A and B are shown apart, each in its own frame.
Chain A
Amino acid sequence: MTTAAAELANGLGTLAGTGKLLRFQARRTRVYLLGWFAGLVGGTWMIAAAFPGLYPTAEDRAQYATTVNSPAMRSMTGPTEYIESYADSTAAMVAHNMILWTGALTAVMFILLITRLTRADEETSRLEVIRSQPVGRRSDLAAALLLATITALVLGVLLALTVAGVQGADFGSALLYGLAHSAIGIVFAGIAAVAAQLGGYGSSANGLAFAMLGFAALMSGLGSAQENAAIWLSPVGWAQETFVFTAEQRWWPLAVSAVAAALLIWLAFALVTHRDFGQGMTPARVGRATAPSGLRGVGSLTFRLTRGLMWAAVITMLLLGAAYGSIVGSADEMLESLSEQQRQVLDQGGGSIEQNFAATITAIDGLFAALFGLLVVGRARKEETGGRGELLAGSPVARSGWPGSYLPAALTVATVAVVVGGVFLASTGMSSTGDSAIFGELLGGSLVHLPAVWTLTAFAFAAYAWLPRAGWVRWVAWVYAFVVAYYGSLLEMPSWLRALSPFDHISRYPAEEVEWLPIGVLVLVAAAFAALGYAGARRRDLHFS
């Protein structure tokens, strides 16, 4: 008799074989887990190491504290209790600026981990092989949650060690900082486990869990900004409510997380035996029997396939625009508190500080918008490697239609992203400064970046058309443009190196007058890349696997 069979006989029942599965799943996910550990711990370490250099003295930190203590800034960081301890503790400053973001990333890590070990495995029928072994019905979920819990605790200890050396931290409070992240991880593992039972597919389970994360981030931001109880609706907020490294530090919010996690895990186990293998509690939605009249050609198909990215772009740019817009008004005060280095990033020409700030954030908005253009181009490649394009390539469709339709789709998404970002940046900027002239400046500043966004997108398409296997080329171009925009003057890059970035040729409106010649040239460059891309798309072999 095998051990698992013995466990079955011994009455472990639906949990039989959990131990074996745990070792198996840990082995399968080790690369995934190590990657996330490296990212979260490495990122925390880099930022924690940078803060003392940026704000070396208590006076620096106290000054920064006054500018950060606005509702808009708090919504992007955390509760005001931390700000009061800035002067005494660099660690409090780090925690204040970090927990919302590293906490959200930790949640993403655990949502993806649980979905991949439960529903995604059911869909690929990998789990079918496992379930046919002498293991219990609940053992795969138990193993996944056990693995998530262990992983969360390890991550917590690693994070604790990372911040233990920061000024203002002692061993106990560093441990609290780490365990606050563990708590977020475990709670979201529970949320994902429940979502995995409810969703019709792995992707809808992921969607449900991510919607919960979005709600959590929103409630945390709202609660911090308005200093009300909304923050208690957010698992990330519970971690922030520990007030770690501050004078008011407390451990008990972790108990709230523990109770919530226990309830969620109990619910997931209760649900798992109430659904069929491979099915969710909510039935998979059936589609239409016939195509809607709008789905007529390759263009409309491409539009439909990239619709999700379009929404993601709109929501991201809306939030980004609104976030930046709400701090334009405090730009003056904020800049005074910045270190010399940071000021150098912003101060790249004439104009008032506010106008310079506006020129910089519109450039960053443009870079983010271009990101979505690049993602759409990446979809074209996925259609090829996923084999779905073969049905189209065998149809009466010219190469300019497929894969060619992905360039107009990418340009459309990127343009919409720029416009949405610009409109929300301008309207929130206007209300935060009370100056109606700034609406036009911010919107105009956003729109002048369009030719640079088009150039990056068209370059990505040309790279896809000529070097389909080298997907990294388009990302290198984007990262390069980002580095030039952000650190170009700080790193004292020679001007010819900066000129390689299309964003470098856009006037710093409203700090400077708009120069139309470079904008016209950039439009031509974008058109040239587009033509090059279409030539490549006509010329090369299509490989479907």
Chain B
Amino acid sequence: MNAVIRTENLVKRFGHVTALDHLNLEVAQGETHGFLGPNGAGKSTAIRVLLGMLRAGAGRAELFGADPWKDAAELHRRLAYVPGDVALWPGLSGGETIDLLGRLRGGIDKGKRDELLERFDLDPRKKGRSYSKGNRQKVALVAAFAADVDLLMLDEPTSGLDPLMGAVFNECVKEAAAAGRTVLLSSHIMSEVEALCDRVSIIRKGVIVETGTLAEMRHFSRSRLRATLKNPVRGLSDNEGVHDLKVDGFDVECSVDTDALDDVLAQLAVAGVATLTCEPPSLEEIFLRFYGDELAASGVANGEENGS
């Protein structure tokens, strides 16, 4: 019952395009949740429904247990939002924009604001029209992190930031999580999600195709195994859990289902192991597994092989 965000069979259509097709998303309180998917998968649409900007076509969406469409203004007191593409008022300076957004929420902690400006290395006196994309995003990020809220909704917040600012951003998210805030982080930067998120949902064509902790997801994926053996091994190709097997003399390389690791290691031990490396799948590999057919359609041979 302590889900901060919950959608049940959420559907949103724009004309003939189905942007969300029975989406089930759940984010628990205090969790940093990664929302993964390529452009056009429906991430922003889902977030905008949750913010009450778009009305759900069918199904349910809940924010703090309430209806985000009906109680939008009230619910927004408890959250801060950073859009994927931040547009600022050309005549307002960054500082004015940050203060205004803070005052709409009932006031802004001046110390926090100045500290964040310092950390993000942002000049608050520049007018909105003269900021670069990255700096526009920083304005929205400073306003969001300075707000005293329970939930942060961040839609691809680092797409215009340089790596240094990306690191500052990661720190800020970790601090927010440590303070007990719930974070929904939509992204397609895997390293960011891997570093920050407790749980991850992967969205594809408006449906959540996978959700869980990184460990759980790895469990359902294949590890990459490389070994140099002392004697030739037999019977590996018969094992159903072994894929992409390459044997070159005593060198063995393959992908192994997590459930089959026991058997494979036993088989290798029989042959005698000289060196052994076994890598869990990266988030990128897990992600690409769900998009293998799209990659194939656009001419990339195999999602899993390209992932490593």
Contact = CB atoms under 8 A, between A and B. Distances in A.
Asked whether A and B interact, the reply is yes
Interface of A: 123, 201, 203, 284-292, 295-298, 301, 304-305, 386-388, 390-399, 401, 540-542, 544
26 contacts: A286-B93, A287-B92, A287-B125, A287-B127, A290-B124, A291-B96, A295-B96, A296-B100, A296-B103, A297-B103, A301-B100, A386-B87, A388-B87, A391-B140, A393-B53, A394-B51, A394-B53, A394-B81, A396-B74, A396-B76, A396-B106, A397-B76, A398-B73, A540-B55, A541-B53, A541-B54
Interface of B: 48, 51-55, 72-74, 76-77, 79-81, 83, 85-93, 95-101, 103-106, 124-127, 129-130, 140, 143, 153
Contacts, number: 116
Contacts of A289: 93, 95, 124-125
A354 to B, nearest CB: 45
Contact of B104 (A201, A287, A397): A397
B101 A395 contact: yes
A201 B128 CA distance: 12
Contact of A392 (B104, B124, B129): B104
Contacts of B92: 287, 304
Contact of B126 (A286, A292, A295, A304): A286
Contacts of B124: 289-290
Contacts of B140: 391
A394 B100 contact: no
A-B residue pairs, 7 tightest by C-beta: A287-B93, A394-B81, A291-B99, A387-B87, A396-B76, A291-B96, A286-B125
- The interface centre, meaning the residue of A291, A297, A305, A401 with most chain B CB atoms within 10 A of its CB, is A291
A284 B130 CA distance: 9
A290 B99 contact: yes
B73 A305 contact: no
Given A203-B90, A286-B126, A544-B87, 13 more contacts: A288-B95, A291-B95, A291-B98, A292-B96, A297-B104, A305-B91, A390-B87, A393-B52, A394-B76, A397-B73, A542-B53, A542-B54, A544-B53
A541 B80 CA distance: 20
Main SS class of interface, A: loop
Contact of A288 (B55, B83, B125): B125
B103 A394 contact: no
Contacts of B105: 395-396
Contacts of B52: 393
A392 B52 CA distance: 12
Contact of B83 (A201, A292, A397, A544): A544
B51 A388 contact: no
A395 B95 contact: no
A301 B124 CA distance: 18
Contacts of A295: 96, 99-100, 103
Given A287-B95, A544-B83, A388 B89 contact: yes
Contact of B127 (A284, A291, A296, A392): A284
Contacts of B125: 286-289
B57 to A, nearest CB: 10
Nearest to A388: B87
B87 A287 contact: no
B116 to A, nearest CB: 14
Nearest to B124: A289
A133 to B, nearest CB: 23
A298 B104 contact: yes
Contacts of A301: 89, 100
A391 B130 contact: no
- The interface centre, meaning the residue of A201, A203, A286, A292 with most chain B CB atoms within 10 A of its CB, is A286
A200 to B, nearest CB: 9
A195 B54 CA distance: 44
Nearest to A394: B81
Contacts of A391: 81, 83, 86-88, 97, 101, 140, 143
A121 B24 CA distance: 45
Contacts of A398: 72-73
A397 B83 CA distance: 16
Nearest to B75: A396
Nearest to B51: A394
Contacts of A390: 53, 83, 87
Contacts of B76: 394-397
A305 B104 contact: no
Contacts of A542: 48, 53-54
B77 A396 contact: yes
